[in-house]
Amino acid sequence: MKKLLLSIILFFVYQFSIAQCVALATNFGNNTVVSYEVTGDVTVTLNTNNTVSLDLGSNFMTAAGPDVRVYLVNSNGMSDTALKTTKIANLINIEFGLVSCTGCVPLIPANGAKTFNVSVPNGQDIRDYDKVFFYCLQFDAFWDFGSFTSFTDANCDVLSVDNNNNFKLKNIIL
Protein backbone atom coordinates (compact mmCIF):
# COMPACT_ATOMS: atom_id res chain seq x y z
CA MET A 1 0.00 0.00 0.00
CA LYS A 2 2.84 2.40 0.85
CA LYS A 3 4.49 1.67 -2.51
CA LEU A 4 1.25 2.41 -4.34
CA LEU A 5 0.76 5.68 -2.48
CA LEU A 6 4.38 6.68 -3.08
CA SER A 7 4.01 5.83 -6.79
CA ILE A 8 0.89 8.00 -7.06
CA ILE A 9 2.61 10.92 -5.30
CA LEU A 10 5.69 10.61 -7.50
CA PHE A 11 3.51 10.51 -10.62
CA PHE A 12 1.78 13.78 -9.66
CA VAL A 13 5.05 15.47 -8.68
CA TYR A 14 6.54 14.44 -12.04
CA GLN A 15 3.51 15.72 -13.94
CA PHE A 16 3.68 19.10 -12.20
CA SER A 17 7.46 19.36 -12.65
CA ILE A 18 7.18 19.14 -16.45
CA ALA A 19 4.08 21.31 -16.63
CA GLN A 20 4.20 24.19 -19.05
CA CYS A 21 2.04 27.05 -20.24
CA VAL A 22 1.04 27.49 -23.86
CA ALA A 23 -0.20 30.54 -25.77
CA LEU A 24 -1.29 30.77 -29.40
CA ALA A 25 -0.07 33.81 -31.33
CA THR A 26 -2.82 35.43 -33.39
CA ASN A 27 -3.57 38.59 -35.39
CA PHE A 28 -0.87 38.18 -38.02
CA GLY A 29 -1.24 40.07 -41.31
CA ASN A 30 0.38 43.35 -40.30
CA ASN A 31 2.58 43.96 -43.34
CA THR A 32 1.39 46.12 -46.24
CA VAL A 33 3.17 43.63 -48.54
CA VAL A 34 0.63 40.81 -48.37
CA SER A 35 3.07 38.09 -49.48
CA TYR A 36 5.24 38.78 -46.39
CA GLU A 37 2.39 38.14 -44.00
CA VAL A 38 2.51 35.12 -41.70
CA THR A 39 -0.33 32.60 -41.80
CA GLY A 40 -0.89 29.41 -39.86
CA ASP A 41 -0.33 28.32 -36.30
CA VAL A 42 2.39 29.81 -34.11
CA THR A 43 2.55 28.53 -30.53
CA VAL A 44 4.62 29.94 -27.67
CA THR A 45 5.36 27.58 -24.75
CA LEU A 46 6.82 28.58 -21.41
CA ASN A 47 8.74 25.62 -19.98
CA THR A 48 9.62 24.98 -16.35
CA ASN A 49 13.37 24.93 -17.08
CA ASN A 50 13.57 28.69 -17.79
CA THR A 51 13.21 28.21 -21.55
CA VAL A 52 10.65 29.27 -24.12
CA SER A 53 9.72 27.13 -27.10
CA LEU A 54 8.22 28.35 -30.34
CA ASP A 55 6.44 25.99 -32.71
CA LEU A 56 5.56 26.98 -36.25
CA GLY A 57 2.76 24.59 -37.11
CA SER A 58 2.59 22.44 -40.21
CA ASN A 59 0.27 25.06 -41.76
CA PHE A 60 2.74 27.93 -41.12
CA MET A 61 3.62 29.98 -44.19
CA THR A 62 5.41 33.19 -45.09
CA ALA A 63 7.33 34.45 -48.09
CA ALA A 64 10.92 33.30 -48.37
CA GLY A 65 13.49 35.97 -47.63
CA PRO A 66 17.26 36.17 -47.40
CA ASP A 67 17.17 35.65 -43.62
CA VAL A 68 13.74 35.87 -42.00
CA ARG A 69 14.16 35.47 -38.25
CA VAL A 70 11.65 35.07 -35.44
CA TYR A 71 11.71 36.85 -32.09
CA LEU A 72 9.64 37.33 -28.98
CA VAL A 73 9.17 41.05 -28.44
CA ASN A 74 8.22 43.15 -25.44
CA SER A 75 6.01 45.76 -27.12
CA ASN A 76 6.23 47.91 -23.99
CA GLY A 77 2.86 49.52 -24.79
CA MET A 78 3.82 50.58 -28.33
CA SER A 79 1.00 50.68 -30.84
CA ASP A 80 0.97 48.14 -33.65
CA THR A 81 1.61 50.98 -36.11
CA ALA A 82 4.73 52.06 -34.21
CA LEU A 83 5.98 48.46 -33.92
CA LYS A 84 5.87 48.00 -37.71
CA THR A 85 8.27 50.90 -38.21
CA THR A 86 10.66 50.14 -35.35
CA LYS A 87 13.87 48.27 -36.12
CA ILE A 88 14.28 44.99 -34.26
CA ALA A 89 17.54 46.25 -32.72
CA ASN A 90 15.51 48.97 -30.96
CA LEU A 91 13.00 46.53 -29.44
CA ILE A 92 13.48 44.40 -26.34
CA ASN A 93 13.58 40.94 -27.86
CA ILE A 94 14.57 37.31 -27.54
CA GLU A 95 15.79 35.81 -30.83
CA PHE A 96 14.81 32.26 -31.74
CA GLY A 97 16.55 31.93 -35.12
CA LEU A 98 16.04 31.63 -38.87
CA VAL A 99 12.58 30.80 -40.18
CA SER A 100 13.39 30.98 -43.89
CA CYS A 101 16.53 31.73 -45.79
CA THR A 102 17.01 31.91 -49.55
CA GLY A 103 20.56 31.18 -50.59
CA CYS A 104 21.28 29.19 -47.41
CA VAL A 105 22.75 25.73 -47.64
CA PRO A 106 20.77 23.76 -46.78
CA LEU A 107 17.78 25.77 -47.95
CA ILE A 108 15.38 26.72 -45.16
CA PRO A 109 11.86 26.80 -46.67
CA ALA A 110 9.18 29.32 -45.77
CA ASN A 111 6.72 26.66 -44.66
CA GLY A 112 6.63 23.52 -42.59
CA ALA A 113 6.88 22.67 -38.91
CA LYS A 114 9.79 24.26 -37.10
CA THR A 115 10.45 24.22 -33.40
CA PHE A 116 12.80 26.55 -31.57
CA ASN A 117 13.84 26.49 -27.93
CA VAL A 118 15.81 29.27 -26.17
CA SER A 119 16.66 30.18 -22.61
CA VAL A 120 15.10 33.30 -21.15
CA PRO A 121 18.04 35.72 -20.85
CA ASN A 122 19.13 36.70 -17.36
CA GLY A 123 17.46 39.89 -16.25
CA GLN A 124 14.52 39.49 -18.63
CA ASP A 125 11.01 38.93 -17.30
CA ILE A 126 9.07 36.65 -19.66
CA ARG A 127 5.84 38.20 -18.38
CA ASP A 128 6.70 41.38 -20.35
CA TYR A 129 6.73 39.70 -23.78
CA ASP A 130 3.56 39.79 -25.89
CA LYS A 131 4.47 39.61 -29.61
CA VAL A 132 5.93 37.02 -31.96
CA PHE A 133 7.89 39.13 -34.42
CA PHE A 134 9.26 38.13 -37.84
CA TYR A 135 12.03 40.31 -39.24
CA CYS A 136 14.48 40.23 -42.17
CA LEU A 137 17.91 41.23 -40.85
CA GLN A 138 19.64 41.52 -44.23
CA PHE A 139 17.20 44.22 -45.36
CA ASP A 140 16.60 45.45 -41.78
CA ALA A 141 12.91 45.12 -42.61
CA PHE A 142 9.74 44.30 -40.72
CA TRP A 143 8.10 41.08 -41.92
CA ASP A 144 5.05 40.46 -39.68
CA PHE A 145 4.01 39.98 -36.07
CA GLY A 146 1.27 38.39 -34.05
CA SER A 147 0.12 38.86 -30.48
CA PHE A 148 -0.16 36.37 -27.65
CA THR A 149 -1.36 36.67 -24.08
CA SER A 150 1.66 37.31 -21.86
CA PHE A 151 2.42 34.62 -19.30
CA THR A 152 1.38 35.63 -15.80
CA ASP A 153 0.63 33.89 -12.52
CA ALA A 154 -3.06 34.36 -13.40
CA ASN A 155 -2.95 32.39 -16.69
CA CYS A 156 -0.04 30.10 -15.87
CA ASP A 157 -0.89 28.99 -12.35
CA VAL A 158 1.50 26.04 -12.24
CA LEU A 159 4.48 28.38 -12.44
CA SER A 160 5.61 31.45 -10.61
CA VAL A 161 8.53 33.70 -11.37
CA ASP A 162 10.94 34.85 -8.68
CA ASN A 163 13.10 37.98 -8.82
CA ASN A 164 15.95 36.07 -10.44
CA ASN A 165 13.69 35.07 -13.34
CA ASN A 166 13.90 31.39 -12.37
CA PHE A 167 10.76 29.36 -12.78
CA LYS A 168 9.63 27.47 -9.70
CA LEU A 169 6.72 25.26 -8.95
CA LYS A 170 4.14 26.74 -6.63
CA ASN A 171 3.38 24.85 -3.46
CA ILE A 172 1.32 21.82 -4.30
CA ILE A 173 -0.74 20.06 -1.66
CA LEU A 174 -1.37 16.40 -2.45
Residue 164: CB atoms within 10 A of its CB come to 9
Mean pLDDT value across residues 48-53? 90
**164-to-85, 102, 124, 168 alpha-carbon distances in Å:** 32, 39, 9, 11
Task: Tell me how far CA of residue 123 lies from CA of 16, 32, 47, in angstroms.
Answer: 25, 35, 17
Average pLDDT of the residues in 67-86 = 95
Alpha-carbon span 163 to 37, nearest angstrom: 37
pLDDT single digits (tens) 140-166 = 999 999 999 999 888 885 455 443 444
**Distance between CA atoms of residues 100 and 107, nearest Å:** 8
Which residues partner with 100 through β-bridges? 68
Q: What is the mean pLDDT of the chain?
A: 81
- CB burial of residue 129 (10 Å; 0-12, 13-18, 19+): buried
Q: What is the pLDDT of residue 168?
A: 43
C-alpha span between 112 and 108 (Å, rounded): 10
80: confidence class by pLDDT, cuts 50, 70, 90: very high
11-15, 43-47, 103-107: which has the minimum mean pLDDT? 11-15
